[in-house]
Amino acid sequence: NAGVMQNPRHLVRRRGQEARLRCSPMKGHSHVYWYRQLPEEGLKFMVYLQKENIIDESGMPKERFSAEFPKEGPSILRIQQVVRGDSAAYFCASSTLGVNTEAFFGQGTRLTVV
């Protein structure tokens, strides 16, 4: 059973371009969380999704950021018109039953905006 897979591991974008980050949860997991981490800081919650539904997006900026978790395929975190401040590590986690169970994390995508 493969773990949570995130790709790409590293992504470089110029200002104004779009960034698409992918996350395939562990098999059997229907709960997906996205977090953002700046160097030397903790993880900041962005969005919580279940299949085809956004459950909680309170941590995600209202503009330029969107997330989806379709019935088939990986969860996607999309950042439009990236700016330098979007540079960070973005982690995805999945779990079987949500917040009361262990969350399994991917290795993250490191986004650099130049």
Taking CB under 8 A as the criterion, the residue among 41, 51, 53, 61 binding other proteins is 41
Query: Is residue 32 at the binding interface for other proteins, with CB under 8 A as the rule?
Result: no
DSSP state of 79: E
Taking CB under 8 A as the criterion, the residue among 29, 32, 35, 60 binding other proteins is 35
Residue placing its CB nearer to other proteins in the complex, 33 or 69: 33
* Of the candidates 85, 64, 77, 87, the residue with the CA atom closest to the CA atom of residue 32: 77
- CA 108 to CA 88: how far, in whole Å? 10
Element holding 67 (H helix, E strand): strand 65-68
Span between the terminal Cα atoms of the chain, in Å: 36
Between residue 81 and residue 110, which ones bind other proteins under the rule CB under 8 A? Answer: 91, 93, 98-108
- Give me the residues that bind other proteins (CB under 8 A), please: 4, 33, 35, 41-45, 48, 55-56, 59, 91, 93, 98-108
